[in-house]
Chain A
Amino acid sequence: MAATETHTGGIGKDVAVYICLLVLAGIQFVIAYQDISASQMFVRMLSVAIIEGGLALLFFMHLSKNRGLMWFVGIFTVAVLIMLQYGWTDSYRLLDGVQWAR
């Protein structure tokens, strides 16, 4: 059997991260009721979600314990996520752009 990494920090740290995640999720629900534009809401909610995801990755999935793996997962994932964004301008074109798309 492969050796298991023992994750230090105890259950106290896990509970602290869990409470942080609950608070951040709560903030998202508060943002949902704010009287702001859809784009502002999108940016705020996505920012909170990225912080939540980062906490889960670093502490729940123990990525903070392995720098090499953290960089590997981080760079690879971010590269894919960036590449997926190429179509956004086209969605604006469909909304109020060329005549045939209206």
Chain B
Amino acid sequence: MSQADLSIHGQVSRTGATEVMTAPTFSVPAKKMAMWLFIIADTATFAGCLVAYGFIRNSTPNWPRPFHSITNVALMTFILLTSSLTMLIALRSAQKDDKAGAFRWMMITAVLGILFAILHIREWMGMIGEGATLFHNPWGTPLFSSTFFSITGLHLLHVTGGVVALIAVGISYQGGRYGADDLEVTGLYWHFVDLVWMFVVPLIYLMNLSH
């Protein structure tokens, strides 16, 4: 790495007459590295929840399978996957200095996130209408409802946080306060939310589909 590269990517500190230059970890800018560390920690959180769910499901006889249709969850999956693509388009537009395009695609991503959340809440309301709550389950063991609402609720919380971040970063990018690298960091988070859903769908929904 040349001196010029270090002055761009690295952190420069001066100790007396000696100039010490340190390249960032894995040549990744600090805020991107911070997001990766958050993603690793959040992976452990979701993995802990899903493993606990697996443990409970495995040790509970007559686990209920209340889902009759996959239409809603299929639509939600399609929307979330599409939102990852629109986020990538936003990032590519930002890297080409197409500010208007990047902002537009980020807002499309946020709208898809909102749509996902609305479908999710609609599904929750349907289940609550049938008598399922965090501590009660009309189809058998209350552990089903507890795990279902806890895990999908944690994911929905992440989606909601992601939508707020997309809108806030998008507006700040449009206003010139944030750059393409900030969009990339927000995009990392959004793709992670999508990634978690890829595990939540089969384990929570599809494994509990009634035949």
Contacts and interface: CB of A to CB of B under 8 A. Distances in A.
B199 A66 contact: no
Given A29-B206, A53-B199, A60-B191, A3 B47 contact: no
Given A25-B198, A45-B203, A66-B26, 10 more contacts: A7-B92, A18-B81, A22-B78, A28-B201, A32-B207, A49-B202, A53-B198, A88-B58, A94-B59, A95-B61
Interface in A32-69: 32-33, 35, 38, 41-42, 45-46, 48-49, 52-53, 56-57, 60-61, 66, 68-69
Contact of A11 (B82, B88, B209): B88
Contacts, number: 143
B44 A32 contact: no
Interface stretch (B116-124, B126-134, B152-160, B176-184): B176-184
Range class of the B interface residue count: 35 or more
A31 B207 CA distance: 9
Given A4-B180, A32-B70, A80-B44, A41 B195 contact: no
Contact of A2 (B55, B88, B181): B181
B48 A84 contact: yes
A10 to B, nearest CB: 8
B192 interface: yes
A42 B209 CA distance: 13
Given A11-B88, A25-B201, A69-B26, A95 B51 contact: no
B36 interface: yes
A84 B201 CA distance: 20
B43 A49 contact: no
A71 to B, nearest CB: 9
Contacts of A22: 78, 81
Interface of B: 8-9, 26-31, 36, 39-40, 43-44, 47-48, 51, 54-56, 58-61, 70, 74, 77-78, 81-82, 84-85, 88-89, 91-92, 95, 179-181, 184, 188, 191-192, 194-195, 198-199, 201-203, 206-207, 209, 211
Given A3-B8, A92-B58, A25 B206 contact: no
Contacts of B194: 56, 60
A90 to B, nearest CB: 7
A38 B47 contact: no
Contact of B81 (A21, A42, A46, A87): A21
A56 B40 contact: no
B84 A68 contact: no
B51 A85 contact: yes
Nearest to B92: A11
A81 B55 CA distance: 14
Contact of A41 (B9, B70, B84, B207): B207
A2 B36 CA distance: 16
A26 to B, nearest CB: 8
Contact of A1 (B26, B77, B181): B181
